[in-house]
Amino acid sequence: MKNIKLSVIIFSLILGSACKTEKKDNIMNNPLVQKFDTPFEVPPFEKIKLEHYLPAIKYAIEVHEKEIDSIVNNEEKATFENTVEALDFSGSLLYKVNLIFCNLLSANTNDDMRKLAKEIAPLRSNHTDNILLNTKLFARIKKVYEKRDNLDLNTEQRTLLDKTYKKFTRGGANLNDPDKERLRKINEEISVLSLSFGDNVLAEINKFKMVIDNEEDLAGLPEDVIQAASETAKEMELEGTWVFTIHKSSMIPFLQYSEKRDLREKIFKAYINKGDNNDELDNKEIASKVIKLRYEKARLLGYEDHASYVLEINMAEKPENVYSLLNNIMAKAIVVAKNEAKDLQKMIIKEGGNFELKPWDWWYYSEKVRKEKYDLDEEALRPYFKLENVRDGAFKLAQKLFGLQFVERPDIPVYHEDATAFEVLEEDGTHVGIYYMDFFPRESKRFGAWMTEYRPGRVVEGKRITPVISNVCNFTKPTGDKPSLLSYEEVLTLFHEFGHGLHGLLSECTYYELAGTNVARDFVELPSQIMENFVPEPEVLNLFAKHYETGETIPPELVEKINKSSYFNKGFEVVEYVAASFLDMDWHTLKDTADININEFEKQSMQNIGLIPEIVERYRTTYFQHIFTWEYSAGYYSYIWAELLDSDAYESFKQNGVFDKSTAQSFRKNILEKGGSDKPMNLYKNFKGSEPSIEPYFKAKGLI
């Protein structure tokens, strides 16, 4: 009997060893865990299959766990290098795999990927909690933190130490064991709910199609808009009709020009009711659960509410400061918006209408008022904004400001045929990084525009690890024999995202935690928004605004009209944005989360700020992905906060000349290269020489 048992044990050990070897061989054949054999080691997208993600993530988690164990079990005394720095350098494989999966989940997804994401989310959440709630690891970090004043740390190291310590305390390191377990469950549930919220919004956008089969219903629409709708219909195998969607590149031109008020109402309501149709895609219950869980988590961690938890590490610091800013701006902007509404109502009456202005009328009549007041037709600008020219204009601006060159690289793998890869070089030819641009809407891509990274730019032991950065947008597509011709708003968006791209490309930080755009949420929009300021400058427009057919540079009189109308409709723009910021803050300062009625709460929130009925907040709760899917909860105000910064910062460029190299180099050295290596206000003052003033913002928005 013993001999039989011994034989079984020996066989099991041999079999177990063989299985482990086979498992290891299989994972080593997984392209996600291999060293990428591609130019500049970009992801080999064509080799990566759906079945590779889960094994790669599980394996990368195992590797990271071993790295953490080696830090925790280090018998040497805890130091900055062997604990805090070692922690930041750990997990590089998991970081790499996660970035690829999450980026493609947003930019080139499908049902299988979305299903897999819900399986992966709890694994990642649990792994993060395993680190942040590791008692021994936190004890080592705490020992280093407690003697921080006696350590010879540079600014970046000190910032990393402070951020790491706060990350652990904010992650529950000081909680008792039952509370730690509850925190794990909260984090896991929020991670899955956030994915479901985003999936529902994407499904709503892809679901709605306004099919027009009567040519009379196209009245007022420009030929380019009609052609685009025809192309969309062909793609959907609905030839002989015209299809409009609630992608903004399709919806906004329809709202601007369609004479059919009932159809304007139909498409507008489809847009603002996303996730609020009491069906399988309804987001009200998900939003309610997330609000409750965030409040519970904040209280568990010792904060008054979720906003207080979030803002502690932002420039704003506390909710009162955000509300103070929003109230200050709203008081001025609502007056301007009301006057704009009066002008639109006058235009309705002038044209023989006998109805009151509604939200779906705003774009249509504001376009008419714009033409009357400034003789400016938005559609007259499009021929001068060929997408490729605008893109190259952004490149030329970066060359003039920072000495950068952008060279298209068709040999570099891309994840979709719409994406294009560029190599970025310094003036002397030194490699800076790889930059992907992906411009057009598709069902596999979420809506909006964003910057992301596949590899952050860092400098370790004197060697630069070059970044791989991506900008993803949803712009007007080419139609027939016409190229993609952008609206002025889309031009601003391209320059905005390009600013984020530069922030990632020029990163010179040492640590993952601080590199590139890993900065305070209300500071991250400064590099993006400052780039928008350059667009209307005549010398900048002359770089790229050339007629797509004739090559003629945009006429000076058209540039003058753009600048004269720069304050037009600003009341509307500011109010709809500030209203969404208030809604975000109201949700995340809510103390009684027992019985939440999403629509009633939202209605009351908007009444409290005096939002006029002609304007709907920029994002309603049920499709407010910034705060329920992405990382802007209690942080949507940050765009305005950053606008305050960029308006003030741009004064330096205006004073010294928009292409002034010394100003640009100071912005590069003190802002773009520094990432989160110092406190945001220190970085800003290093560039500007003083703290920002709010007056340039009010001036830029025409509010004073």
How many whole angstroms separate alpha carbon 79 and alpha carbon 90? 16
Residue 443, helix vs strand vs coil: coil
Q: How many other C-beta atoms can be found within 10 angstroms of the C-beta atom of residue 9?
A: 10
The burial class, CB within 10 Å (0-12 / 13-18 / 19+), for 550 is exposed
Cβ atoms of 457 and 508 closer than 8 Å: yes
- Measure the CA angle with vertex 34, ends 31 and 39; round to 5°: 85
- Measure the CA angle with vertex 615, ends 614 and 620; round to 5°: 135
Structure tokens at 529: 């928004």
Q: What is the gyration radius of the CA atoms in the chain, in angstroms?
A: 27
How many whole angstroms separate alpha carbon 482 and alpha carbon 276? 37
DSSP state string for 607-647: HHTT--TT---SS-GGG-HHHHTSS-TTTTTHHHHHHHHHH
Distances (CA, A) of 237 to 7, 240, 476: 66, 9, 20
How many whole angstroms separate alpha carbon 522 and alpha carbon 316? 8
Residues belonging to the active site: 497
Backbone angles phi, psi at 452, to 5 degrees: -145, 180
Cβ atoms of 57 and 94 closer than 8 Å: yes
Contacts of 158 (CB under 8 A, 6+ apart): 148
SS3 content of the chain, % helix, strand, coil (to 5): 60, 5, 30
Contacts of 145 (CB under 8 A, 6+ apart): 161, 162, 165
Q: At what angle do helices 362-374 and 319-350 cross, to 10 degrees?
A: 70
Dihedral of CA atoms 229, 235, 236, 238 in degrees, nearest 10, equals 70
Structure tokens at 264: 């304007």
Structure tokens at 521: 């949420």
